[in-house]
Structure 1
Amino acid sequence: MPRRPANVTPRRLAESGFADSFSSVTAPLKSKTSPLVSVCLVLLGVIILLTYSFSSSGKFARDRSLSEAGMLISFEEEKEEFASRPECRTAVCHVAQYLQRVYGDSMNRVLHIGPSSCGVVLKLLKEEKLEAWGILPFDPKPPVHSVCENLIRKGLIRVADVAQPLCYKSRSFSLVLANDIVDTMTSRQLNVTLRELARVSSDSVVLLINTNAIQKLQEASEEGTRPVKVLKPRSRLWWQHRFQMLGLKESEEATKRFNTLMRQKLAGYHIFHLISTEVIG
């Protein structure tokens, strides 16, 4: 009668030396793989930290550039890039949050006019109790983002010559916001455009005027790309005199509140808060 094999317990294995032989086989494997895994994990952690550090510093530099220089891109680059895209990264997007705090509930129907109107209108429409429309001063350069196409199709954004009468009824908007529009206009064009901005506004007109626009236009003229109609840079005093001629007055209260909230002056721009109720026709 065959004998049944005895149960082999871990204790007996250990006593027989099998456990020692097994550990002697596996121990070298652990000693070889563990340091390698540790090194890989350390390297991976360093890479993640460096990536996060560079991305954070880059974001800080972009944000600082936006607040100090007004725009991250040049005058011409903004026209080509942002007219066809829904991103809102220009100076007017930076100050929009402060304008909402200055004007409060009176900023409920906004008309934006400028090259980056798609991004600005999209940003404003995300706010509660706020309606927004926009005017692009030129045809957007293809390819046009589907979001911008949809806004144009719905009539929320129109393409129009801003040096001509606007296709809106008088006092249609509580606030009209314009940037990079009147900067290089001739005196005749200014008379038409400023009156139109005031006409369609029931309360306020906010202008962001690029102080470097004329210089860029002169540089473009020297390269033969476009003629120059405006030769002399326009100071803040020049603009104030022009507004007075048309019956537009600066709102001291809005200007003071805006400067207090924003604190740091936006370099490269004149910002005007105008009252649109006493325009000379």
Structure 2
Amino acid sequence: MSRRPVNLSRRSPDGGGLPFVGSIQAKSRSSPFISIGLVVVGAILLIGYCYSNSGGASVDIKGLSRFEGGASCTLEVLQAFPVLKKAYGDSMRKVLHVGPDTCSVVSGLLKEEETEAWGIEPYELDDVNANCKTLVRKGIVRVADLKFPLPYRSKSFSLVIASDALDYLSPRYLNKSLPELARVAADGVVIFAGYPGQQRAKDGEVAKFGRPAKLRSSSWWIRFFVQTSLEENEAAGKKFEQASAKRSYKPACQVFHLKAYP
């Protein structure tokens, strides 16, 4: 968002012929130092703002929330990354994230040592920053409809993480998209889904996604996984719970751990 520069300095009026002229002149002598200080502070803030937009600063994960007053599962992915790393170990070396704001997630993952990351953005990219445009230009982030096959070979990634995307798909399309996530994964799939009763997307987001989020219960998801021949990754799930307990981490979203297809 552009900001209009504000002129913070003011000229002091000529104090000749006015009462208390001495005090006014004293203030006018000190005002240049105040003005200079304000200009310096403003310049620092402006540089910091531009630097963060260029991708040079750390990711502001608080800006990822797509739910007004609710939970963002995309935000949750970055918060859960240390726990995921403990649970999956070497499987975190080559990660595909699927979901909105994937540029921010991929940027955060790429800052981790020995981690390669790619992203699938299911919706149109509007008003993206320079860093996101660079990721798209390099092919690291792609825009792809989850209702169709993903543009990757089988087992292209060690781990696939999906967030804030599957909640918007009907069972008809989930039957296609979920097997695709398992197909391109070598070690497993992690799904971050909202809880029933959480704040739904705002009206503007509903128009973009085409439908409101269907926040389903864990039992609904488990039944659906069984129907699509996807098995729970119990070993990874237990490690995730243990690592979460050690870090006092409580997910704001449902987290499901699935095995990749053989």
Mapped pair 1:98 → 2:80 = no
> Partners of 2:233 and 2:258 in 1: how far apart?
6
Q: Is the alpha carbon distance of 1:163 and 1:269 closer, same or farther for their aligned partners in structure 2, counting shifts above 3 Å?
A: same
- The answer to whether the aligner puts 1:154 opposite 2:138 as a matched pair is yes
Query: Larger relative contact order (C-alpha < 8 A, sep ≥ 6)?
Result: 2
Distance 2:119 2:240 in 1: 23
Q: CA deviation at 1:257?
A: 1.1
One-letter amino acid of the structure 2 residue matched with residue 260 of structure 1: Q
Distance 1:151 1:72 in 2: 17
Name 2:223's counterpart in structure 1: 241
Taking structure 1 as the reference length, what is the TM-score of the superposition?
0.62
* CA contact 2:232–2:258 (8 Å) conserved in 1: yes
How far apart are 1:275 and its partner, in Å?
A: 0.3
1-structure distance, mates of 2:209, 2:98: 22
Structure 2: which amino acid aligns with 1:131?
E
Task: Tell me which residue corresponds to 1:75.
Answer: 67
What is aligned with 2:112? 127
> Aligned partners of 1:72 and 1:122: how far apart in 2?
13
Distance 2:144 2:159 in 1: 19
Q: CA RMSD in A?
A: 3.3
Q: Secondary structure at the match of 1:128?
A: coil
How many Å separate the matches in 1 of 2:253 and 2:242? 17
Where 1:107 maps in the other structure, the secondary structure is helix
SS at match of 1:119: helix
Offset of residue 131 of structure 1: 1.1
Cα distance in 1 for partners of 2:104, 2:167 equals 20
Gaps of 5+ in 1: 1-65, 83-88
For these two proteins, the number of residue pairs brought into alignment is: 198
What corresponds to 1:114 in structure 2? Answer: 99
CA distance in 2, matches of 1:74, 1:186: 20
SS at match of 1:138: coil
Partner of 1:254: 236
Runs of 4+ more than 3 Å apart: 70-74, 212-215, 223-231, 264-268
1:138 aligned partner, one-letter code = Y
Kindly state the Cα deviation for residue 213 of structure 1 after the two structures are TM-superposed. 8.1
Deviation at 1:105, TM superposition (A): 1.3
Residue identity in the other structure for 1:250: E
Q: Where is the helix percentage greater, Structure 1 or Structure 2?
A: 1
Counterpart code for 1:135: I
Distance in 2, matches of 1:114 and 1:162, equals: 10
**Inter-partner Cα distance in structure 2 for 1:110 and 1:224:** 29
Query: Could you state the TM-score of these two structures normalised by the residue count of structure 2?
Result: 0.66
Contiguous gaps of at least 5 residues in structure 2: 1-60
Amino acid at match of 1:116: D
Kindly report which structure 2 residues correspond to 1:3-152, keeping only aligned pairs within 5 A, or say none. 73-75=65-67, 90-142=75-127, 144-152=128-136
Deviation per CA, 1:16-75: give whole Å up to 9, x if none. Answer: xxxxxxxxxxxxxxxxxxxxxxxxxxxxxxxxxxxxxxxxxxxxxxxxxx9xxx997343
Larger radius of gyration: 1
1:200-211 equivalence runs, <5 A? 200-211=184-195
8 Å contact from structure 1 (residues 183, 213) kept in 2: no
Q: Please, which of 193, 199, 211 is the counterpart of residue 183 of structure 2?
A: 199
TM superposition shift of 1:191: 0.4
Quick one: structure 1 residues 140 and 213, their matched pair in 2 at CA, closer, same or farther if it must change by over 3 Å?
A: farther
Q: Distance in 2 between matches of 1:273 and 1:226?
A: 25
Q: Which string of whole-angstrom CA distances, capped at 9 and with x for unpartnered residues, describes residues 127-173 of structure 1?
A: 2222110011112211x211111111000000111121110001100
- 1:226–1:103 CA distance, 2 compared to 1 (3 A): closer
What secondary structure sits across from 2:159 in the alignment? strand
**Helix, strand or coil for the counterpart of 2:166?**
coil
